[in-house]
Amino acid sequence: MTVFSSFSRAFHAHSSSKLLVLFSVSSGGLVALSESQAESDRPNAELCQTESKKRVVVLGTGWAGISFLKGLNSSMYDVQVVSPRNYFAFTPLLPSVTCGTVEARSIVEPIRNMIKKRSVDINFWEAECLQIDAENKRIFCRSNLDENLVGNNEFYLEYDYLIIAVGAQVNTFNTPGVSEYCYFLKEVEDAQRIRRSVIDCFEKAVLPGLSEEERRTNVHFVIVGGGPTGVEFAAELHDFVQEDLIKLYPSVKDLVKITVIQSGDHILNTFDERISSFAEQKFGRDGIEVLTGSRVISVSDKLINMKMKGEVLSMPHGMVVWSTGVGARPVVKDFMEQIGQGNRRVLATDEWLRVKGCRDVYALGDCATVDQRKIMEDILTIFKAADTDNSGTLSMEEFQAVVEDILERYPQVELFLKSKHLPHVTDLLKDAEGNERPEVDYEEFKSALSLVDLQTKCLPATAQVAAQQGAYLSRCFNHRKQCETNPEGPRRFRLSGRHQFHPFQYKHLGQFATLGGEQAGAELPGDWVSVGHSTQWLWYSVYASKQVSWRTRFLVVSDWTRKFIFGRDSSRI
Ligand code: FAD
Ligand code: MG
C-alpha cells in the first residue's frame, strides 16, 4: 500500500513539473526537474537527471545486465543500475554450491567492485523495480533494505533508455504444493538452502527411534526436471553422498535414493543424443533413478504425486528440488499487460532487442525473447525491392544483389539451407529438376522461400545468450551517434534506407553438463561431442577461465582443490 501511495505522490510531483520537463526535453533531450518542487514531496529528488547525458537505466545485475555494463562506454551516458542484489552470481556453478563443492561466496562478485574498476561513475541502487511506466519513461522501485534504517525505501527514476535484464523466475506451472514444499535452484540463496536441507535430511534420518521406512523417506531426494540444472544437481548430490556423507552417516548408507522425474522421453533433451544417452547410462550405473514420461501433479510435505504412463503414483520424499523451466517475473508480466503483450509468455523484442510496441526500452536475457520477423510477411516487398528493373521477374543478378541483406535480416534462410544441405542460397531458386532458372516470377520466388520460416528458432534461456545480447547492445549504444548518420545494418525492404545497426545474431559456443564422478558431457562448435573424464577437465578449465574476476577465479579453483584434498564440508551452517 505504502509503495503505491508513494508512487502516486511522486506522480503528482511530476505533473507539476511538466512544463519544465517539456522545456528541457526540447533543449537537447535533457530531463531536469524543477527546483520548485518541494524536496520533501519527492523521495528521490537527487535521482533526477542533472547532466546533459542521456540516462540509461539498467534493471538487473545478472548475465545480461553485467555484460551490457562491461561493454558500455559509460562516459557517454548517465548510467543508473537497479537490482535487488548487489552482486553478480556465476549461475553455472550453483549446482556445485548446493553440496559445498564450491562455496557461495566464491561465485559472486560485488557489483560495486565491478563498477569501481570503471573510470566513470555508474550509480548502483540496491532495489527492486516494481513497475515500469513506459508512457512517462520512469520506473518505480523499492529497496528491500532494513525498514528500521532511516529514510524512504521507495523511489522512482526517469530514463531516456531502459534496459530490462531482470531474468526470470521459477515456473511452477501452478502445480499444487510446489511453492510450499519444493526447493528451487535459481539464486545463490536457493543453493544455500538446499545445502542445509540435504544435511538436515541426513541428520533426521539417523535420529534414534525412527523406523527404517522413515529413515528411507528422509534420505529420498527427488529432482523434478531432467534439464541441465536438474541433472547437474542430481550428479553433485550423488557425489556428495558417495564421497562424503555415507562415511559420516554409515547407518543410512543403503537407504539413500535419488530420483529424477522428467516429463520428456530423455534427460538432457536439449543436448546431443550421445550426451543424453551417456548421462542416462551413467545415472543407471550410479543408481540414480530416472523416471521419464512422468508429470508431477501435486506435492505435499511428505508425498510427491505424479502421473506416469496414465497411472497416478505417490512417492514419499525427504526433499524435492523443482527445476522445470522459467517464467516471467511479476514486474515483467505487468509491463507486458501495459504494452499489449499480455498473452505472451515472455517479453517479445525485435532483432535489435527493442521491446515491441514501446520506444527506447530494450529487453535481454531470460526475461525476453527475440521475435524473429517472418520472411513471408515481407515477401512481396522483398520481391519488389529486388526487382530493380520492374520487369515483374527476378534475374539471378537482381537476387544476388539482395541476398546478403536477406540472410542478415532473416537468419532462418541460412538455417533452412543447412537443413536441406543446400550449399548456396541461389540453390533456392532452382526448379524441381535442380536446374538454375534465369528468371523467377513472384509466385516462384514466394514458393521457393515458403518453408523457410519453419526454421525460425527461439533462443534458449542461457547465460551464453544473455551475455552475448548484453555485449551486442552495449556496442549499439556505443555507436548510437555514428549510426544515426551512417547506418550500418541491412537494407530495409519495407521502407527505404538501411537499418541503423546489424540485428543481434547469436553464436552458439557449445554447452556442458557435469554428470558426477569427474565426468562431463560437452557439445562444442562444429558438432563436436565429447563425454567422460577428459571433458570434466575441459569443464574445469573453461569455467575457471570464465570467472568474472581474478578473485573469484582464485576462490573457485581453491575450492575445487580443497574438495579434492579434504572432501566437502557437511556442517549445517
Ligand atoms: P539473471 O542472471 O537471472 O539476472 C537477473 C538480474 O535481475 C539479477 O541481478 C536479479 O537480482 C535482478 N532482478 C530481478 N528482479 C528484478 C527487479 N524487479 N528489478 C531489478 N532487478 C531485478 N546458462 C548457461 O549458459 N550455462 C550454464 O551452465 C548455466 N547453468 C545454470 C545453472 C543454474 C542452476 C541456473 C539457475 C541457470 C543456469 N544457466 C546457465 C542459465 C543462466 O543462469 C541464465 O540464462 C542467465 O542467468 C540469464 O541471465 P539474465 O541476466 O537474463 O538473468
Ligand atoms: Mg527484374
In this structure, the residues whose C-beta lies within 6 A of any atom of ligand 1 are 59-65, 82-85, 91-92, 94-95, 128-129, 165-167, 185-186, 229, 329, 331, 365-367, 461-464, 466
Closest CA to 556 of 60, 108, 192, 49: 108
Grid coordinates given for 34: 524543477
Helix axes 18-26, 2-16, angle to 10 degrees: 60
Ligand nearest 111 Cα, by number?
1
Residue with cell 520506444: 359
The dihedral region occupied by 233, where left means phi > 0, alpha psi between -120 and 50, and beta the remainder, is: alpha
The pLDDT of residue 550: 95
Ligand 1 atom closest to residue 128's alpha carbon, by position in its atom list: 19
Using the mean position of ligand 1's atoms as its centre, give its distance from the Cα of residue 123 in Å: 21
Ligand 1 atom closest to residue 233's alpha carbon, by position in its atom list: 34
Provide the 8-state DSSP code for 245: I
Probe residue for ligand 1, chosen from 115, 130, 164, 166 as the CB with the greatest number of ligand atoms within 8 Å? 166
Ligand 1 atom closest to residue 464's alpha carbon, by position in its atom list: 25
Using the mean position of ligand 2's atoms as its centre, give its distance from the Cα of residue 9 in Å: 62
Contact residues for 486 (Cβ-Cβ < 8 A; gap 6+): none
Using the mean position of ligand 2's atoms as its centre, give its distance from the Cα of residue 421 in Å: 28
Q: Are 209 and 362 in contact (CB under 8 A)?
A: no
Could you tell me the fold of the domain covering 5-170+329-365? FAD/NAD(P)-binding domain (3.50.50)
* Rounded-to-integer distance, Cα 527 and Cα 510, Å: 9
Inter-CA distances, 566 with 194, 235, 465, 560, Å: 21, 19, 36, 10
The pLDDT of residue 391: 92
Domain residue ranges in the chain: 5-170+329-365, 178-324+510-566, 375-455
Residue 45 CA to its chain's centroid (Å): 33
Contact residues for 14 (Cβ-Cβ < 8 A; gap 6+): 21, 33, 136, 138
* Rounded-to-integer distance, Cα 241 and Cα 260, Å: 16
What's the alpha-carbon Rg for the chain, to the nearest Å? Answer: 27
Cβ neighbours, 10 Å, residue 359: 11
Judge whether 5-170+329-365 and 375-455 match in fold.
no
The dihedral region occupied by 213, where left means phi > 0, alpha psi between -120 and 50, and beta the remainder, is: alpha
Using the mean position of ligand 2's atoms as its centre, give its distance from the Cα of residue 397 in Å: 9
| Ordered mean pLDDT values, 10 residues apiece, the chain (573 residues) | 42 37 31 34 48 90 96 93 96 97 96 81 93 96 85 92 97 95 97 97 96 97 97 97 96 96 94 95 97 96 93 96 94 95 92 94 97 93 92 90 91 89 84 81 91 90 97 95 86 86 93 96 91 96 95 97 93 85
How is domain 178-324+510-566 classified at the architecture level of CATH?
3-Layer(bba) Sandwich (3.50)
* Rounded-to-integer distance, Cα 426 and Cα 193, Å: 57
- Give the torsion through C-alpha atoms of 537, 542, 548, 549, to 10 deg: 50
* Rounded-to-integer distance, Cα 534 and Cα 524, Å: 14
Ligand nearest 401 Cα, by number?
2
Ligand nearest 129 Cα, by number?
1
Contact residues for 541 (Cβ-Cβ < 8 A; gap 6+): none
Q: Are 522 and 64 in contact (CB under 8 A)?
A: no
Using the mean position of ligand 1's atoms as its centre, give its distance from the Cα of residue 329 in Å: 12
Ligand nearest 438 Cα, by number?
2
- Roughly how many angstroms between the first and final C-alpha of the chain, as a whole number? 36
The pLDDT of residue 51: 54
Whose Cα sits closest to atom 2 in ligand 1? 62
Contact residues for 213 (Cβ-Cβ < 8 A; gap 6+): none
Grid coordinates given for 351: 532483432
Overall pTM surpassing 0.85 (yes/no): yes
Grid coordinates given for 32: 531536469
- Give the torsion through C-alpha atoms of 158, 164, 167, 168, to 10 deg: 90
- Give the torsion through C-alpha atoms of 553, 556, 562, 568, to 10 deg: 180
Q: What number does CATH give the domain 375-455?
A: 1.10.238
Q: Are 331 and 132 in contact (CB under 8 A)?
A: yes
Q: CB burial class (10 A; 0-12, 13-18, 19+) of residue 349?
A: buried
